[in-house]
Amino acid sequence: MQLKGYGREAAGRLNATFAALADPTRRAIIARLALGEASVVELARPFAMSQPAISKHLKVLERAGLISRGRDAQRRPRRLEAKALELATSWLERHREIWEANLRRLDTLLDELTAEQRARGRTPASKRSGS
């Protein structure tokens, strides 16, 4: 599915990002990596799952571009790629602005309807029921 306002590549990256972040284990891994790089063993420690299961989660995050694998002698620490979150953040911000504008229009409409009811000498329904 093509996302309106996004090219095919950007839409694909956005879909991969949200799919990767849909899993609570992967979100926890992202939260841990926000504190600094960590090895697979360190990332697996708080979870009741095998190292291969954690590795599968890491591969999903890597394919989405959310994390990368470094090399430090024998160690291959993972690190957060915060830039990859920028696309998702801008998408969320755009939609937050749209919904806030919709809610402001709804508030205005409700204020107008309430004022109109008062002008006609009617009490709004919420006032009649005692709430």
Question: Residues 78, 24: one domain?
Answer: yes
**What letter does residue 23 receive in the DSSP assignment?**
S
pLDDT one-digit tens code per residue, 79-95: 999 888 888 898 889 88
CB contact at 8 A, 19 and 29: no
Distance CA 50, CA 17 (A): 24
Distance CA 25, CA 61 (A): 11
pLDDT one-digit tens code per residue, 24-74: 999 999 999 999 999 998 999 999 888 899 999 999 999 999 999 987 767
- The count of structural domains within the chain is 2
pLDDT confidence band for 75 (50 / 70 / 90): confident
Domain containing 62 equals 8-82
pLDDT confidence band for 1 (50 / 70 / 90): very low
> What does pTM read for this prediction?
0.69
Residue type, 4: K
Please, what is the angle between helix 8-21 and helix 83-119, to 10°? 90
Question: Residues 16, 75: one domain?
Answer: yes
